[in-house]
Amino acid sequence: MGKNFDGEKKSSVKKHIGKYKLMLKEKSMSYFDVEEFEDIVEYFISKEKITEAQNALKYALNLHPGAFSLLLKQAQVYVESEKTEKALAVLGKLKAIHPEEPEIYFWLGMVEISKNNFEAAENDFAKLLKFMKEDDEEILLLVAFSYIQQGEFKRALQYLKKAYSINPKNSYALYDLAYCYEQINDYEKSAINYQKYLEENPFEANVWYNLGVIFTNLGENEKALDAYDFSIAIKPDFSHSLYNKAILLANNNNNEEAIDVYKDFLKIEKNSIEGLNGLATCYRKLEKFELAEETYKIALEKDKNNIDTLYGIAAVSALTDQNLEGLNYIIRVLRIEKGNPDVHYLAAKIFSRLGYFERSEESFIKALTLMPDNPKYWVSFSELFYETDVQKSIELLEEAIKIIPENAEIMYLLAEYSFYAKNNNKASEYLKDAVALDKELLNDFLQRCPSAVDNKDVKLITQSI
């Protein structure tokens, strides 16, 4: 375990290091007591100069061969340099002489963690806690940190909770508690601990950002936006917060606001394809198609094979009836990405508009194979045959309601198609089911299907509402 060098202690350590380095330079011999050697070795460990720490220990143990604290430092250096067998050998000897010394069990536990022997590590840490002379939050935090490094967040939590109970003002414990709860998807507890941390440390932009992510995961979008805003207020060029804020605004259909935030983000991250794609998508949603296409093409200059960019340009092309251009881009996407149902769906729409009905049908089938519970796909697929083979359209939608039986839009469409096919009895049954699911859509149905208005069954249905 390490030491914190500050104030007068820091000054004396600096003096010891200077004396030690001068000795090496002059190839002379100097005397250092055990504590001075501890400080010298710890200094090199803190600077990650393990070889120099090993050399200092070799000299120290020649002078003080049985010094317990120096042998512990030797074990620590072996652990740091991943020489676990040598570490175990030293710790085993120390344990035989000092069976109740807590630091021995700390380093034994560290060795077991490095070997992923977590149950063995827990046994060592149990002894560590048993033999500790007093509550030591620093040791507990070090144990927790070692578990965090190995992705063992639940194990880390038990030590962080103990450290926090010893000192509720410990910011490190609070932050790591929040982080570990985040990693195990316990977002409620993560948010609580991040907020406690920020009560004591309100000007840390990255922690406000973390809290924004947590609130986003909890679906608390307003709180997430507030957290991102605090982060940006503290650090206006914090690109992560700007980017996440823009995404959140866009997902909530606040596209105008999202555009402004994306622009701020792109002032900092000028080459971000994700930022350019996000900006272009907002333009697309607002039907600012020229700006959308222009922005997508800037992104495409940076990565000609970016799937989101190619898809975005294809979508803009389809929306502006530039279907041949859209076909070119969607085919490029399909060469790279064959597992995205939305890509196949857009390809189906473009093929249909260009009169390539067989290719369109193939693409609809691929989209539905990948995502069979998407009603939009079924509706569009059925429309492909409406004018030429309405019975096939009906069969497709009947297949759809086996998978998504509670979808009112599909049920109304089945009623409409059945009336069109002169199958009034079946149409009436579908209409009853549709009204039961959503009566608010009935007027839209009657406007689309005026032939149904005078049907006696339809009249009964409308009168019963």
- Residue 309 amino acid letter: T
289: left (phi over 0), alpha (psi -120 to 50) or beta: alpha
Residue 339 DSSP symbol? S
Nearest in space to 90 (alpha carbons), one of 65, 115, 113: 65
Cβ distance 296 to 309 under 8 Å?
Answer: yes
The predicted pLDDT at position 218 comes to 98
The predicted pLDDT at position 255 comes to 98
The predicted pLDDT at position 29 comes to 85
Contacts of 298 (CB under 8 A, 6+ apart): 276
3-state SS, residue 356: coil
132: left (phi over 0), alpha (psi -120 to 50) or beta: beta
CA angle 382, 372, 358 (to 5 degrees): 45
- Output the 3-class SS for the chain: CCCCCCHHHHHHHHHHHHHHHHHHHHCCCCCCCHHHHHHHHHHHHHCCCHHHHHHHHHHHHHHCCCCHHHHHHHHHHHHHCCCHHHHHHHHHHHHHHCCCCHHHHHHHHHHHHHCCCHHHHHHHHHHHHHHCCCCCHHHHHHHHHHHHHCCCHHHHHHHHHHHHHHCCCCHHHHHHHHHHHHHCCCHHHHHHHHHHHHHHCCCCHHHHHHHHHHHHHCCCHHHHHHHHHHHHHHCCCCHHHHHHHHHHHHHCCCHHHHHHHHHHHHHHCCCCHHHHHHHHHHHHHCCCHHHHHHHHHHHHHHCCCCHHHHHHHHHHHHHCCCHHHHHHHHHHHHHHCCCCHHHHHHHHHHHHHCCCHHHHHHHHHHHHHHCCCCHHHHHHHHHCCCCCCHHHHHHHHHHHHHHCCCCHHHHHHHHHHHHHCCCHHHHHHHHHHHHHHCHHHHHHHHHHCHHHCCCHHHHHHHHCC
- Residue 20 amino acid letter: Y
CA dihedral 157, 159, 165, 169 (to 10 degrees): -80
The predicted pLDDT at position 85 comes to 94
Per-residue model confidence as pLDDT tens for the chain (465 residues): 555 544 456 777 888 888 888 888 888 888 889 998 889 998 998 899 999 999 999 998 988 998 999 999 999 999 989 899 999 999 999 999 999 999 999 999 999 998 999 999 999 999 998 888 777 888 899 999 999 999 999 999 999 999 999 999 899 999 999 999 999 999 999 999 999 999 999 999 999 999 999 999 999 999 999 999 999 999 999 999 999 999 999 999 999 999 999 999 999 999 999 999 999 999 999 999 999 999 999 999 999 999 999 999 999 999 999 999 999 999 999 999 999 999 999 999 999 999 999 999 999 999 999 999 999 999 999 999 998 999 999 999 999 999 999 999 999 999 999 999 999 999 999 999 999 999 999 999 999 998 888 888 888 888 777
Cβ distance 121 to 105 under 8 Å?
Answer: no
Nearest in space to 320 (alpha carbons), one of 338, 294, 299, 345: 294
pTM comes to 0.82
Rounded to whole angstroms, the Cα distance separating 1 from 438 reads 66
The predicted pLDDT at position 396 comes to 97
Cβ distance 164 to 177 under 8 Å?
Answer: yes
The two tokens of residue 173 are 């414990």
Contacts of 237 (CB under 8 A, 6+ apart): 268
3-state SS, residue 63: helix
